Amino acid sequence: MSGDEIFVLAKGRADYVMRKSAYLIFFAFAAPALQADIIFSNFGTSPNFFDPNNGSFVANGGIDNSLAFSFVIPVSHFYQLTEIDFAVSESSGDNSITATIYTDDGGVPGTAIYTTGAILNELQSTGTELFEPVTNGPILDPGATYWLSLDATVDSSVTWNNNGQGLDAEYATNIADPGDPFDWQLSGRSFEEGAFEIDANIAPVPEPATTVLFASGLAVCVLSYRRRSVKRPIPTTETF
């Protein structure tokens, strides 16, 4: 086999390996996210999704009583938050509420990682389930504890409706004096926790094996590029 034939064969093999690596990298990192999962919910089934007449105050008569309930992420995957659902009612006020997701800090809410901002004109006097979609939501770690907090303006009277299923949970409250930072206090276990649901997609976080595959494919691509960039010597014919 001549030198030219060997070169062409090697080049073809390198092209094949590079294409194969590119396909593997694409499918490993560019695969679409799976359909959203309900990763936490204490809602019941129809027609009793929650208790529309009972709950815990989020704000009442000039007292800002931010309330938070904890939830735990399934251990199977990293998840990306896509929607927050909760049941609330308002008897008076400016028809505004804010939902916030916090990390856990030793059994109480810690760092805020997502907030809806003020949700306006969606509250009613009897319990209403609000569906708040999340764009570019934070990644939630498998097995980790997080907190959902609801907060209303001090002049409102807003209730986080109970789940109506008899499900209790640890909860935290934060009664903020004007000008003072929030100070969460663990308040024990609720008689019945506020109704809410957390929806999320399985996050496209590469596993170690995928990372190794990416590195290997990248190395092959670089090697192939270097080989292409080296010019073959032009054959010369010597006359004796």
**pLDDT tens readout for residues 104-157:** 998 889 999 999 988 988 888 888 899 999 999 999 999 999 999 998 877 788
Say if residue 240's pLDDT is above 50: no
Give pTM, 2 decimals: 0.70
Any residues with CB less than 8 A from the CB of 117 and at least 6 apart, and which? 98
CATH number listed for the domain at residues 37-202: 2.60.120
pLDDT category, 12, cuts 50, 70, 90?
A: low
Amino acid making up residue 61? G
Any residues with CB less than 8 A from the CB of 80 and at least 6 apart, and which? 33, 137, 138, 139, 140, 200, 201, 202, 203
Region 22-35: what's the mean pLDDT? 46
